[in-house]
């Protein structure tokens, strides 16, 4: 996404420069030419701002989605580990009971 923003910014900057140069070479009064340049720069500035805002929103949305996926996977892993831990504890408790019984028989 970072590379896309750089390319987008370069294209918009190039378009603004091209429009400015075109206006400068067009046969028109200086006052009209300056007004056209100012208008083009304002339009380009607004367009860059809009595109950067959109890119930021998309990046934020993507980051939020990835965070949610990670949290769900983490929750699933913890849940799976919890069940496995319960199984291990139950197995150890059974073995302990067996050992207690065997120990009791040996002391008789």
- The pLDDT, as a whole number, for residue 65 is 92
- The pLDDT, as a whole number, for residue 27 is 66
pLDDT tens digits, one per residue of 57-97: 988 998 999 999 999 999 888 888 887 888 888 888 999 99
Residue whose entry in the numeric block shows the structure tokens 């996404």: 1
- The pLDDT, as a whole number, for residue 64 is 92
Q: What is the DSSP string of the chain?
A: -HHHHHHHHHHHHHHHHHHHHHHHHSS--HHHHHHHHHHHHHHHHHHHHHHHHHHHHHHHHHHHHHHHHHHHHHHHHHHHHHHHHHHHHHHHHHHHHHHHHHHHHHT-
Do residues 70 and 27 lie in contact, with contact meaning Cβ atoms separated by under 8 Å? no
Q: With 60 as the cut, is the pLDDT of residue 1 above it?
A: no
- The pLDDT, as a whole number, for residue 87 is 85
Instruction: Give dist(CA 96, CA 5) in Å, integer.
Output: 63
Using CA atoms, how far residue 80 sits from 16, 28, 83, 86, in Å, is 57, 75, 5, 10
Helices 2-25 and 30-106 cross at an angle (nearest 10°) of: 180
Ordered by start, the domain boundaries in the chain are: 2-106
pLDDT tens digits, one per residue of 22-58: 766 666 677 777 787 788 878 888 888 888 888 889 8
- The pLDDT, as a whole number, for residue 68 is 92
Q: With 70 as the cut, is the pLDDT of residue 2 above it?
A: no
- The pLDDT, as a whole number, for residue 101 is 87
């Amino acid at each position: 996404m970072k590379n896309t923003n750089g390319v987008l910014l370069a294209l918009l900057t190039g378009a603004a420069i091209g429009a400015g140069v075109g206006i400068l070479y067009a046969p028109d009064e200086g006052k009209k030419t300056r007004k056209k340049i100012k208008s083009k720069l304002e339009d380009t500035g607004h367009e860059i701002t809009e595109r950067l805002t959109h890119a930021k929103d998309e990046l934020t949305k993507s980051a939020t989605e990835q965070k949610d996926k990670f949290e769900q996977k983490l929750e699933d892993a913890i849940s799976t580990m919890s069940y496995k831990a319960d199984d291990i504890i139950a197995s150890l408790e059974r073995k302990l009971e067996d050992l207690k019984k065997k120990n009791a028989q040996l002391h008789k």
